[in-house]
Amino acid sequence: GEPVRHPQIKEMFDKKPDGRYQPKRQSRH
């Protein structure tokens, strides 16, 4: 797997303390 270091990833995903990335829910309408 490639290292995730894209700026957009941080905006779209939340990095959890365990190191996993969880997709953010878009609450904006």
Q: What's the pLDDT at 18?
A: 94
* Global confidence as pTM: 0.38
pLDDT digits (tens, 9 = 90+) for 1-29: 676 666 677 778 888 999 888 888 776 66
Q: How far apart are CA 9 and CA 21, in angstroms?
A: 9
Per-residue model confidence (pLDDT) at position 6 = 67
> Taking phi first (over 0 means left), then psi (-120 to 50 degrees means alpha), and beta for anything else, what does residue 19 get?
left
